[in-house]
């Protein structure tokens, strides 16, 4: 968590306008800077309302550059981030080139791009953790920035509550200084004067509610009160993530940078975070692979593609569907231009009408209402072809019968008395509060684990294929290229071209298919596993967290492939949109039995009857 206040230049800006050589025209971090902002300055009287004034020629020339935004923001009390001619290179590799963007108050920007495109790196440039090769980043003077980081050990020696309060660095520093003064045995008159100054600042910044506000934030994120005074190191990693998220959100920062904030959060906590950010009035930039989350909170999408970055109005679904529509229109040579314009205008109108009914920021609807159709551009994204319908044999009526299945883990019962029957056309989302339970459940069904209670029986016509949560066993000890690795699962002496075609569907092409499996990234391994699944041509598929390590393009392709599949599916996924759009039945496995409902995922999580039943099953 990084939190700091930029120098309060806005209060000084007007008197300095006739001093164009001054370094205090605005907060700007360029290549030469060390990546940190100017330390906080003492509070000065607020500036009077803007009056007419004369500007020197040199001042006008200066204000015509990037820092014009700083003056305007100070004048109208608006928050803004301006990125100018930003480039980042690592040796011969260019991550960003001549990027020019502006982020404004009241908007939430979802940063998307393929794995390795530089999404997290861009947030680190904004926060000052990474220095750009050239160009500059400028902020509205006086703004406080908060960043969610992934370091789970930085605050291990602090209490949970104090870790959150550290999020507001300036207020926390005031509290610690005044507490230190009061602890002095030789309390002087000068100490008393300083303590008075600090008490005034503390009160002005709502410091007396600091602890209760931090406790409320923790409770909202699922950290119970009995954990608030523990040391952070006493919590597990999933709890630490929530504490660090509370730290980032604490104190209403002017600029909020969130990298994968929904990781390890449950359904209820994600819903709370969605509502919190949807109503947030300041600047938010978020990197996430959760499309439902991006749709719920984003007013704009920042697309990183081929070292360029572009901002588009609307949430993720609007960006995706509009870019796909534009791509379709570009290939349709027969449709008249005016018909294409009408089609785009109708799409915007329908989407805007739908958005107004949801829990989204009103600024998004206003932006959509004003959008120019020239802003809608065809995407250059490449999407994998995840197609499962080439099955070897059609499934009969007897698919899977499960009777009183149970499994214990190291800390007790994972699931017990699980009984259900899979029918034709079932696409079942398998849920549990414990991810170890769902992983163990698939291990039992696939035969990887035979130490269980109860029994299950597959139909004689059923062939299965699965994507496990942990795929390391498929690559451990392997020293071969992708073609030879995949050929092992072909079931025949398949020729190289046949095997290459399945790798090609997952965007492995040319010399890439000769890469050794030992050097594959997590995302590349997942793409290999999907190639393997398609090659197996099974009529029942099982997936345990299949979106892990996937970029948004692969998640979209997987989502569509699962929807289009004609056979039965058992799957577990934290991806809300995938679960909602694929599942037609929900089965939750618990230590006390099964909850089995023919309903959608949203209906399930919003049902009060189901909520009562779940409470009983996990009691």
Q: Which two tokens stand for residue 548?
A: 């892990």
pLDDT at 18 over 50: no
pLDDT (mean) for 296-314: 91
Q: Which of 111, 50, 103 is nearest to 81 (CA)?
A: 103
Quote the percentage of the chain above a pLDDT of 90.
Answer: 64
Q: Which two tokens stand for residue 335?
A: 């449709």
pLDDT in tens, 155-204: 999 999 999 999 999 999 999 999 999 999 888 999 999 999 999 999 99
Residue ranges per structural domain of the chain: 318-375, 400-618
pLDDT (mean) for 490-505: 84
- Running DSSP on this structure, what letter comes out for residue 474? G
pTM above 0.85, yes or no: no
Helix (H) or strand (E) holding 164: helix 160-165
Helix (H) or strand (E) holding 113: strand 108-113
Helix, coil or strand: residue 204: helix
Contacts 24+ apart (CB under 8 A), 581-585: 582/427, 582/429, 583/427, 583/428, 583/429, 584/425, 584/426, 584/427, 585/426, 585/427, 585/428, 585/429
pLDDT (mean) for 514-531: 93
What's the rounded Cα separation, in Å, for the pair 188 and 181?
Answer: 9
pLDDT in tens, 229-242: 999 999 998 899 99
Which residues contact residue 234 at a Cβ distance below 8 angstroms, ignoring those fewer than 6 apart? Answer: none
Most confident of 45-54, 353-362, 458-467: 458-467
pLDDT at 45 over 50: no
pLDDT in tens, 357-386: 444 445 555 665 666 666 667 667 788 999
pLDDT in tens, 104-147: 999 999 999 988 889 999 999 999 999 999 999 999 888 999 99
Residue 141 near residue 37, CB atoms below 8 Å: no
Residue 328: which pLDDT band, with cuts at 50, 70 and 90?
confident
Give me the pLDDT at residue 359, please. 42
pLDDT (mean) for 337-350: 70
pLDDT at 24 over 90: no
Domain 400-618: CATH architecture, name and number where available: 3-Layer(aba) Sandwich (3.40)
Instruction: Identify which has the larger pLDDT, 78 or 111.
Output: 111
Residue 17 near residue 52, CB atoms below 8 Å: no
What's the rounded Cα separation, in Å, for the pair 258 and 232?
Answer: 20
Helix (H) or strand (E) holding 415: strand 412-422
Give me the pLDDT at residue 490, please. 82
Adjacency order of strands within the sheet including 80-90: 27-30, 134-139, 80-90, 93-104
What's the rounded Cα separation, in Å, for the pair 346 and 340?
Answer: 10
Write down the number of H helices and E strands in the chain: 22, 20
Give me the pLDDT at residue 374, please. 65
Q: Locate the DSSP E strands across 307-379.
A: 308-313
Is residue 545 left, alpha or beta, with left meaning phi > 0 and alpha meaning psi from -120 to 50? left
């Amino acid at each position: 968590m990084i939190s700091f206040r930029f120098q309060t230049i806005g209060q000084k800006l007007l008197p300095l306008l006739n001093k164009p050589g001054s370094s205090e025209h605005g907060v700007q971090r360029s290549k030469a800077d060390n990546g940190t902002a100017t330390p906080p300055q003492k509070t000065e009287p607020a500036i009077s309302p803007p009056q007419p004034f004369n500007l020197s020629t040199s001042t006008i020339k200066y204000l015509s550059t990037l820092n014009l935004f700083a003056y305007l923001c100070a004048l109208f009390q608006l928050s803004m981030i301006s990125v100018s001619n930003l480039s980042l290179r690592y040796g011969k590799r260019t991550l960003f080139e001549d990027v020019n963007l502006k982020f404004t108050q009241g908007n939430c920007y979802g940063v998307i791009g393929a794995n390795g495109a530089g999404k997290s790196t861009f947030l680190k440039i904004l926060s000052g953790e990474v220095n750009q090769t050239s160009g500059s980043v400028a902020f509205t003077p006086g703004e406080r920035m908060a960043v969610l980081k992934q370091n789970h050990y930085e605050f291990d020696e602090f209490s949970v509550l104090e870790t959150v309060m550290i999020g507001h660095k300036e207020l926390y520093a005031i509290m610690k200084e005044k507490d230190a003064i009061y602890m002095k045995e030789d309390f002087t008159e000068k100490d008393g004067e300083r303590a008075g100054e600090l008490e005034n600042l503390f009160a002005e910044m709502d410091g007396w509610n600091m602890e209760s506000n931090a406790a409320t934030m923790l409770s909202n994120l699922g950290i119970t009160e009995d954990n608030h005074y523990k040391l952070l190191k006493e919590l597990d990693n999933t709890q630490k993530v929530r504490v660090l998220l509370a730290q980032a959100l604490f104190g209403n920062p002017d600029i909020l940078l969130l990298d994968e904030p929904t990781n390890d959060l449950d359904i209820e906590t994600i819903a709370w975070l969605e509502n919190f950010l949807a109503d947030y009035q300041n600047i938010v930039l978020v990197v996430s692979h959760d499309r439902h989350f991006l749709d719920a909170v984003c007013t704009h999408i920042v697309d990183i593609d081929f070292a360029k970055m572009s901002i588009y109005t609307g949430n993720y679904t609007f960006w995706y569907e509009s870019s796909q529509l534009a791509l379709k229109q570009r290939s349709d040579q027969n449709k008249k231009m005016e018909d294409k314009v009408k089609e785009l205008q109708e799409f915007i109108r329908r989407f805007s009408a739908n958005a107004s009914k949801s829990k989204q920021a009103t600024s998004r609807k206003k932006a959509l209402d004003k959008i120019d159709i020239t802003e809608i551009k065809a995407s250059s994204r490449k999407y994998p072809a995840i197609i499962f319908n080439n099955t070897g044999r059609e499934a009969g009526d007897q698919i899977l019968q499960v009777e009183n299945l149970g499994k214990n883990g190291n800390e007790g019962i994972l699931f017990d008395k699980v009984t259900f029957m899979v029918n034709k056309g079932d696409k079942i989302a398998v849920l549990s509060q414990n991810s170890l339970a769902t992983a163990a459940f698939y291990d039992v069904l696939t035969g990887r684990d035979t130490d269980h209670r109860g029994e299950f029986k597959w139909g004689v016509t059923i062939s299965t294929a699965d994507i496990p949560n942990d795929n390391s066993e498929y690559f451990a000890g392997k020293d071969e290229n992708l073609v030879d690795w995949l050929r092992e699962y072909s079931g025949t002496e398949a020729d190289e071209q046949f095997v290459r075609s399945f790798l090609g569907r997952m965007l492995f092409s040319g010399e890439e298919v000769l890469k050794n499996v030992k050097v594959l990234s997590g995302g590349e391994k997942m793409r290999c596993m999907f190639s393997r699944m398609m090659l197996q041509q099974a009529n029942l598929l099982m997936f345990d967290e299949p979106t892990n390590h996937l970029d948004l393009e692969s998640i979209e392709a997987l989502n569509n492939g699962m929807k289009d599949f004609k056979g039965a599916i058992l799957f577990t996924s934290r991806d809300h949109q995938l679960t909602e759009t694929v599942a037609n039945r929900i089965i939750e496995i618990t230590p006390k039995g099964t909850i089995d409902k023919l309903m959608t995922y949203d209906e399930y999580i919003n049902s009060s009857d189901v909520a009562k039943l779940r409470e009983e099953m996990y009691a």
